[in-house]
Amino acid sequence: MSVYLPVFHILVSVSVNMILELISFSGLFLGAVSSPSSPAPSSPPTASSVEGRCRIYNSGQSADCRGRQLDFVPWRQFPVTLESIDLSYNVLHAISAADFQNLPQLHTLLLQFNNISHIDNDAFKNNPLLEHLNIFNNSLQEIPASPLTSVLNLKYLDMSNNLYKHVTLADSFSKLVRLKALSMGGPLVMGLKKNDFHSLKNIELQSFAIKCSSNLSYYEPGSLEVIQTKQMRFDMAIDQRPNALHHILHDLSNKTLSLIQFRNLFEFTYYMGEEDIFLNLKYVRAFQLIFHRGKFNENLLRMALLNLQVTPIKWLRLQYIDFARSPTFVDNGAGSSITNLALDNLDLW
């Protein structure tokens, strides 16, 4: 077994009895150092002296309007040659039909960290080349299906962290056949329904990310079954609905994934149930599994590792996890030990 420790990063090639030991050990100091602090969020740039003016560069192909306190899109400043515009970290509240109508070359539009609650249906009508649209962290109360699904070239769409309560995608999303990366959901999404992603069923994604409320209230079996993707990222806490994990993992079975990531799987409480909620991990084919933040006790970890023994998953990463012992855990010696786990990589950050 080899262990190295560059800045709290332990990489181990292991026999597994040592994992639990290592984890109790690392819980002592890694937990203390890393779990309370998330990676620092990138802070908005300070207001520029040329407030309101965008910087046009790259021979008129790019506009930098980031962090300028803009409450409307300054479209009169935009040369017709623009291909990429960064309007992030402003205070925009709406996108209107006029804003980008004279930009036939536009392919990248960054609108994250504004306060957008409305997008006109015709907002992107004259932007047939638009392929990268970021509206992360805005105030949309509905998924703006009409404007989004008129952009047939869309490849990267991040519309997560908005204020919509349901993630049901309109049928028209099936037109976005070039979509590669889709990120959606937000703090008010209480759960997933069986037909939410039906319109994606013929689209081959590279990456799919879903965020729900930290109080997940429902997960209808089959909700994620239709999604075809290489990478699947969850940001949903199942504290109130631990059994949802059964159905989630069942929906992932028979897919071939390169990565599955769970962020904050248990956000506020340690799982105290007896039932093995990782049972369906057995049927999941993936290259790498990442648990990012959240609470893991011994018992939950053991359930995960037990089932990992029989999966093709060979790379496990546990980062910024809050580990705890399970004081009531009784090792009855039968079936409780992990004797056959062979990982190529185990990362504990």
Residues of the shown chain interacting with ligand NAG in the complex, contacts defined by CB under 6 A: 91, 93, 115, 117, 137, 139, 161-163, 186-187, 215, 217, 225, 240, 250-251, 253-254
Nearest to 114 by CA among 63, 75, 62, 70: 70
**252 vs 343, which CB is nearer to ligand NAG?**
252
Nearer to ligand NAG, 206 or 215 (CB): 215
Q: In whole angstroms, how close is the CB of 93 to ligand NAG at the nearest point? A: 5
> Which residue's beta carbon is nearest to the bound ligand NAG?
217
Considering the complex, what minimum distance in angstroms separates the CB of residue 136 from ligand NAG? 8
Q: How far is the CB of 308 from ligand NAG (least distance, A)?
A: 18
Task: Count CB atoms within 10 A of the CB of residue 132.
Answer: 18
Closer residue to ligand NAG (CB): 13 or 243: 243
Q: Are 197 and 169 in contact (CB under 8 A)?
A: yes
Of 95 and 106, the one with the shorter C-beta distance to ligand NAG is 95
Q: Yes or no: say if 112 and 135 are a contact pair by the CB < 8 Å rule.
A: yes
Whose Cβ is closer to ligand NAG: residue 145's or residue 226's? 226
Q: Strand 132-134 and strand 156-158: pairing?
A: parallel
The distance of closest approach from Cβ of residue 211 to ligand NAG in the complex, given in angstroms and rounded to an integer, is 8
User: Which residues have C-beta within 8 Å of that of residue 315, sequence separation ≥ 6?
Assistant: 287, 288, 289, 343, 344, 345, 346, 347
Q: Minimum distance between the CB of residue 117 and ligand NAG, rounded to whole angstroms?
A: 4
Q: Which of 145, 225, 219, 146 is nearest to 184 (CA)?
A: 145
Nearer residue to ligand NAG within complex by CB, 78 or 270:
270
Whichever of 33 and 94 has its CB closer to ligand NAG, that residue is 94
Strand partners of residue 197 = none
CB atoms within 10 A of CB 160: 25
Q: How far apart are CA 293 and CA 160, in angstroms?
A: 19
Shortest reach from residue 281's CB to ligand NAG, in Å = 13
Query: φ and ψ at 261, to 5 degrees?
Result: -125, 135
Question: For residues 62 and 84, is the Cβ–Cβ distance under 8 A?
Answer: yes
Give the nearer residue to ligand NAG in terms of CB position, either 125 or 282. Answer: 282
CB of 246 to ligand NAG, least distance (A): 12
Nearest one of 84, 43, 45, 42 to 61, comparing CA atoms: 84
Shortest gap between Cβ of 109 and ligand NAG (angstroms)?
Answer: 18
Distance between CA atoms of 218 and 209, rounded to whole angstroms?
18
Classify residue 265 by burial, with Cβ atoms within 10 Å: 0-12, 13-18, 19+.
Answer: buried
